[in-house]
Amino acid sequence: MGSRQIVVISGKTCSGKTGLADLLEKEFQFHVIRTRQILCELSVGPPEAEVDRRDLMRRAQELNAASESRWALHSTLAALKTLDPTKPVVVDHLSTPQQVLQFREAFGENLVHVHLYASTATLLERYAHTEGFGGNAATYDEIDHLKEQSSIDALKDDADVRIFTTRSDARDTLVRVAARLHLFTSPEIRCVDVLIGGQYGSEGKGNVVAYLAREYDVMVRVGGPNAGHTVASPRGPYTYHHLPSGARDVGARLLLGPGMTIRLPGLFKEIKECGIGPERLFIDPQASIIEDEDLEGESKHLVSTIASTGSGSGAASARRILSRGKSIRLARDVPELAPYVGVPGNYRGSTTDRLEEAYRQGGSILLEGTQGSGLSMFHGIYPYVTSRDTNVAGCLAEAGISPSRVRKILMVVRTMPIRVGDPDGDQGHTSGPLKHPTTFDEIAQMAQLDATALHTAERTSTTKRRRRVGWFEWEQFRKACALNAPTDIVLTFADYIDAKNRRARRFEQLSPDTIKFVEELERVSQAPVSLINTRFPRGPEGFGDMRSVIDRRNWTARTTSLR
């Protein structure tokens, strides 16, 4: 009979058989063969929608007598000829030990028998809450298809999985059965690559993610709209504040994790501009909504003191902590987000569920971090920090991904780190220190670049503020390496070392000073510099030849038919 897995379920009425079959179909894409439907097709009488349980029991008894109980097996064998042979099948349900034996003889070791049982009080209570109400309702004893204790004992003894459902709801039962069926992915499967910033943000992560995006089946973003990732593509530049970078140019599934903070007008604008439909975008029901009060709260203090973006992300996160027990909005509370989030009982946007699905199907996953290691709430220079941990551990926690799933950690660094320009206002206010401050004029002179073009380009993606710049900070870089243990370093803005690097298409074409810099990065980090960004395409002349990344990787992400 091939290697298709066949699951048959037995148990008394209201023990949870149909609920288990429905969840196997929904969560693990099982084909469901329903004996109720078979009974209605094989016998004369009213259609399935009008049949009550007493009539079904009568029909089953007649067919058992006429076929030596083989009607269920024969109908299942006929149905299998029309079904996708790669998908498992669950039969809801078999009523007698004789039927189970017939299935075992037909399917051998491919068959798994699940028997569900519950206390009498539980069965009666469930029946009363479903069908057993109203004056004309049948009693439970009248509709119970499994009465003989000898048959009950034989089914229990035969079962490969036996579950007492009085203390196990439908989803608990599913987990226990799925574990026996080996449907969960081993923790040894490592299929998540994480990309994070190694400095103070604005390292060029968006363009790197967009370059890699075509290799991944699933893209996950964490953080919030306080981080803008600008991407150059043949369609023109675009800045992503919520969606994963490059979303409009690839076909990957897009996940916004539970740690996200979402500003609704901005999200809807991105969805519309990028042409993203619900079939691709999944938003976790636990993601936080940024309200007007959050923007107002940040603008009164943080914008003028540490040059916060004022996007409300930090205030929304603080309010979520402080307002437990009070009414706050999460993604699940916004009706307009329902196509992407789902509804109670079927949260299609649940990040953990979608990730489990990707793990099972062998999908490749890219987690896009935002901001940079030096801005971490816990590891940056306080108070010049953001409202979250921006290192790999924090990003994984926000997305709901175990560290054991991680395959590659890519840390992006600029040749010259930047910070946001100091805020206006009272003397002494700053966005944070740079260890070796310099100017874009000095960099332009050293690298033979156009200083005016640098000043024009070096503005933040979110607030459009001017940036401050410094020479490379080796101590900070080493700390970021210690915090993130990157498997790969990504170097951006190689043209800030030498303008000639803009024309480089291979590693050996980089300037000698750039190659020395790369070698030193590798010594300090103990990781290869696998990707080197030579320039960021800007202006009409920048979009002719889009090649701006020298790819030195000895690996690639796996691709599947998950999409």
Q: Among 314-323, 339-348, 533-542, where is mean pLDDT lowest? A: 533-542
435-454 burial by CB neighbour count: b if 16+ within 10 A, else e?
Answer: eeeeebeebbeebebeeeeb
Structure tokens at 47: 């259609």
Nearest to 392 by CA among 261, 222, 551: 222
Same domain, 164 and 231: no
Structure tokens at 481: 């390496």
How many other CB atoms are found less than 10 A from the CB of residue 345? Answer: 5
Question: What's the mean pLDDT in 341-369?
Answer: 94
Q: What are φ and ψ of residue 244, in 5° steps?
A: -60, 145
Nearest to 387 by CA among 306, 329, 452, 454: 306
The 8-class DSSP code of residue 493 comes to -
pLDDT band at 112 (very low <50, low <70, confident <90, very high): very high
d(CA 8, CA 112): 6
Structure tokens at 460: 């933040």
Same domain, 73 and 210: no
Q: What is the pLDDT of residue 497?
A: 97
- Quick check: 452 pLDDT over 50? yes
Q: Is residue 556 part of a domain?
A: no
Q: Per residue in 378-430, pLDDT tens?
A: 999 999 898 899 999 999 999 999 999 999 999 999 999 999 877 665 556 77
Q: How far is CA 110 from the centre of its chain?
A: 32
377: domain CATH number is: 3.40.440.10
Q: What is the pLDDT of residue 51?
A: 64
Query: Are 504 and 550 a contacting pair, CB within 8 Å?
Result: yes
Q: Per residue in 536-555, pLDDT tens?
A: 876 555 545 678 999 999 99
Q: What is the pLDDT of residue 144?
A: 86
Q: What is the pLDDT of residue 69?
A: 87
d(CA 197, CA 225): 16
Q: Is residue 520 part of a domain?
A: yes
In sequence order, which residues have a C-beta less than 8 Å from that of residue 58 and are 6 or more positions away?
Answer: none
Same domain, 348 and 223: yes
Q: Is residue 558 part of a domain?
A: no
Q: What are φ and ψ of residue 444, in 5° steps?
A: -60, -40
In sequence order, which residues have a C-beta less than 8 Å from that of residue 128 and are 6 or more positions away?
Answer: none
Q: How far is CA 42 from the centre of its chain?
A: 44
* Domain count within the chain: 2
- Quick check: 44 pLDDT over 70? no
Same domain, 351 and 456: yes
Q: What is the pLDDT of residue 306?
A: 41
Distances from the Cα of 461 to the Cα of 226, 420, 466, angstroms: 9, 11, 10
Whether the pTM exceeds 0.95: the reply is no
pLDDT band at 59 (very low <50, low <70, confident <90, very high): confident
Same domain, 283 and 303: yes
Same domain, 172 and 212: no
Quote the domain boundaries for residue 10: 6-180
- Using the 3D structure, point to which of 120, 149, 180 is the last residue of a domain: 180
- Quick check: 84 pLDDT over 60? yes
Same domain, 43 and 92: yes
Same domain, 159 and 249: no
Same domain, 211 and 281: yes
- Quick check: 56 pLDDT over 50? yes
Q: Among 196-200, 223-227, 449-453, where is mean pLDDT lowest? A: 223-227
Q: What is the pLDDT of residue 66?
A: 84
Q: What is the pLDDT of residue 226?
A: 81
Q: Is residue 561 part of a domain?
A: no
Q: What is the pLDDT of residue 236?
A: 81
User: Kindly report the CA angle at 502 between 498 and 503, in degrees rounded to 5?
Assistant: 115
Q: What is the pLDDT of residue 308?
A: 46
- Using the 3D structure, point to which of 180, 207, 233 is the last residue of a domain: 180
- Quick check: 201 pLDDT over 70? yes
Query: Are 20 and 3 a contacting pair, CB within 8 Å?
Result: no
Q: Is residue 149 part of a domain?
A: yes
- Quick check: 213 pLDDT over 90? yes
Same domain, 173 and 201: no
- Quick check: 129 pLDDT over 90? no
- Quick check: 133 pLDDT over 60? no
Measured N-to-C along each axis, helices 313-322 and 292-299 cross at an angle, to the nearest 10 degrees, of 110
Structure tokens at 123: 């069965």
Q: Per residue in 251-300, pLDDT tens?
A: 999 999 999 999 999 999 999 999 999 999 999 999 999 998 888 876 55
Mean of the per-residue pLDDT values of the chain: 89
DSSP output for 13-40: TTSSHHHHHHHHHHHH--EEEEHHHHHH
- Quick check: 337 pLDDT over 80? yes
The 8-class DSSP code of residue 69 comes to T
Alpha helices (H) in 220-372, listed in sequence order = 264-274, 292-299, 302-306, 313-322, 338-341, 351-360
Q: Per residue in 375-385, pLDDT tens?
A: 999 999 999 89
Question: What's the mean pLDDT in 178-194?
Answer: 92
- Using the 3D structure, point to which of 150, 180, 210 is the last residue of a domain: 180
Q: Is residue 559 part of a domain?
A: no
d(CA 320, CA 512): 51
Same domain, 446 and 541: yes
Structure tokens at 362: 């062998």
Same domain, 317 and 462: yes
Q: What is the pLDDT of residue 461?
A: 62
Question: What's the mean pLDDT in 503-519?
Answer: 97
15: domain CATH number is: 3.40.50.300
Distances from the Cα of 14 to the Cα of 22, 121, 465, angstroms: 14, 11, 64
Q: Is residue 112 part of a domain?
A: yes
Q: What is the pLDDT of residue 128?
A: 87
Q: What is the pLDDT of residue 301?
A: 53
